[in-house]
Every structure is written in C-alpha cells, then in structure tokens.
Amino acid sequence: MPRTDLSANQLWVGKPFDNRNNSLNLIRLLLALTVLVHHSWPLTGSDYEPGFAGETLGGWAIAGFFVISGYLITASRWSNSLGDYLVHRVARIMPAFVVCLVVVAFVFAPIGYAAAKGNLDGFFGTATTPANYVFANLGLKMNAYDVAGSPFNVPYPGAWNGSLWSLYYEFLCYILVAFVGVFAFFRKSPWFMTAAFVLSVAVEANIESVLPYLQHNFDFQLLFQLLPFFLGGAVVQVWKHRIGIHWLPALLSIGAAVLITALVPEWGGAASAVFICYGILWISLWLPSPAIIKKNDVSYGLYIYAFPVQQLLAVYGVHQLGILPFTLIATVCSLPLAAASWILVERPVMRMVRGRRKTVQPKEGTGQAETRDPETADR
C-alpha cells in the first residue's frame, strides 16, 4: 500500500522517465499485434469491427503509435542537428518501407495472382503493374494498393497492404518537429508545443467546419485526425523534466482519457492524447519486458508485413477457418518477416547511420555536447 502522508508535491511529481529500462518496445509490439487483430475482421469478410467511442481497435492502436512517436521523436529532434535528425528519420522509416513494397510487388502479389489465375500471364503488364506499385508509393503516400488487380477472390480484394497509409502522415509529423526545432525559443519553452497541441485539437474538434475551406481535402482530414496524438506525446516530452512519472497522476490520466473520450467521442481521444501518453509511459515502467524485445524492435516490421501476410492467407482460404485461427496463423507467419526486417534491414541501416557520427556534435543553440541520439527506439 502506498503511504498516505505524502506532500502534494510528492503525490504529483514523479521520478524521471527511464529511457533505457522501459517496455516501450513491448508496448509497440502489442500495438502492432492489435492492428493485426483488428484487420482480421474485414479480411475475413466480417461486418463487425471492435472499437470504442466510434473508433476501431486498430485506430486506437495507431493513436498509441503516434503518441509514443511524438514523445520519442521530439527528444530526437531536440538533441540533434536538423541534418542528423532528418537522416535518422529517413533511415528509420524508408529502407524497410521500400523493401516491403518490393517484397509485396514481387513475392506476395505474384504468388497470390498465380493462385487465383493458375499462371502469371499478364501479371507484369496489368495495372497496377508491380514496378509501378513500387514507384507510385515510393513517396510514402499510398497511391496504389493492388498489384495487377490482385489480390482476387478474397473478402477484401484489390489491396495488398492496408497498413502503410499511416506512415505518410507520421512523416509529416516528423517534418513539423524538424521545423519547430530550428528555433531555439521553441525548444527551450514547453509552451509553444502545448499551444500547438491545443490548436490541433481545436482543428480536429471543428474539422467539419474547416474542411469546406480546403475543398474537403482528405489528407488534411487524416493528418489532423492523427496530429493531436503525436503532439500530445511531444507535450509530455517537453514537460517531462518538470513533472516526471508517478502512479497517481498516471491512473488519473488513464481515467480522464477514458472518460473524456466516452463523453466526447468525436474529438475526446485527440483531446486526451497527453493523458494517453503519460499513461503509456507509466505502464512501460512497470510492465515486464523480455530482454530480447528490449534490444530488438520488431514492431515496425510486424506493422508493415502483417496485412499482406493476412491477405495471402485469405487467398488460400485460411480465413474460412474463422477469425481466431486466422489471426493466430497470421501472427505466427508475420513475426518471422518482422524479425527479418529488423535484422536484415532496419538495424543495419540504423547502425550505419549512427556510425557516421563518430565526432561529438553540439546541440543546436545550446553548445552542449551530445554523443548519442537519446530515446531513438522509434519508428
């Protein structure tokens, strides 16, 4: 039982967040698994999709990714020059993304196409051609989801990878933080990031009134659906030295997030992003994590490969076994690909990028030396 004779300051101001001894990798892996689980419903032809307050289970998992990313990415920007920051961000997200596009276009898609057609006749010349699938999506924005019209004969046809769409908007958030970090005033004061978060929530809360002025731009709508979560994580990052992590405000934050979201489902989740992030950080400090997961972040690989694995399984009729067997088989088949992505692509690229920083570089505008990129277990 916790002591009851604590001062108000002791009740609310906790210990600094431990950047090394936490379970953020495990939490992100669980979020990626949640996205996989969510996709099992539409990919097996079910009209039901579990969710809360008008948002699907997968949507909440992506929100969790964004608050964690906002927290970590802001730390990376605040501790690196603009050039190093951008190199790290591109290196972390792009190589594995491009490899995934190639694997889907030239491995998954031809297997699925041949299974449906009996051969590969017309595969390489039918829109969307495999080469154009890769080229059209190279900019992170998903412009094509099918390859030669496949997958066929599945409950969710014409889309090989329905998970990649969020990466474009995440990278837009990276660019926003890159710009903000140019100005020393914004880095030194937590109030600018707080104001940016409040503004993003205000836009999301009034999105139906704002969209007509942007010709109902869908990219703008999706960006501001996700941006408050990213900025909520950023707010916790810029205030963390003043507040720390403590169990009491963490429990209250989780309760407040659930209550606000339930009361105002349209934008309550966005408004609760700071609370969600604080709660996740607290959970990551007491949730035990296997050492292998702490050292190896396979969540990104699982996120980008699970959907095509599920679709290929559906091509061969595995979805007919039911949602639970389908989900379990998809998980077992996806994890090796996630591990391969980490071992063969993501980790080597990040080691190469970090290796180029052999000399100690000063933080922008501070003159302080920084020898490593803190809290960079991000995606």
- Average of per-residue pLDDT across 330-347: 98
Q: Is the pLDDT of residue 376 over 90?
A: no
**End-to-end Cα, the chain, rounded Å:** 37
Domain range summary for the chain, segments of one domain joined by +: 16-370
pTM over 0.85: yes
Phi, psi dihedrals of residue 238, rounded to the nearest 5°: -75, -20
**Inter-residue contact 39 to 308 (CB < 8 Å):** no
Q: What is the pLDDT of residues 154-192, one digit of tens each?
A: 999 999 999 999 999 999 999 999 999 998 888 888 999
Q: What is the pLDDT of residues 32-74, one digit of tens each?
A: 999 999 999 999 999 998 999 999 999 999 999 999 999 999 9
* Structure-token pair, residue 307: 């959907």
56 Cβ neighbours under 8 A, 6+ residues apart: 38, 49, 50
**What are the DSSP calls for 200-257, one per residue?**
HHHHHHTHHHHGGGGTT-HHHHHHHHHHHHHHHHHHHHHHHHHH-B-HHHHHHHHHHH
Q: What is the pLDDT of residues 65-101, one digit of tens each?
A: 999 999 999 999 999 999 999 999 999 999 999 999 9
What is the structure's pLDDT at 184?
84
The residue assigned the tokens 């490899």 is 99
Task: Please tell me whether residue 338 adopts helix, strand or coil conformation.
Answer: helix
What is the structure's pLDDT at 379?
55
What is the structure's pLDDT at 355?
82
According to DSSP, the β-strands at 369-370 and 51-52 are unpaired
What is the structure's pLDDT at 185?
82
Q: Is the pLDDT of residue 8 over 80?
A: no
Instruction: Kindly compute the dihedral angle of the four CA atoms of residues 36, 41, 44, 48, in this order, to the nearest 10 degrees.
Output: -170
The residue assigned the tokens 């296997």 is 290
> 58, 106, 115, 142: which is closest to 312 by C-alpha?
115
- Average of per-residue pLDDT across 96-114: 99
Amino acid symbol at 292: I
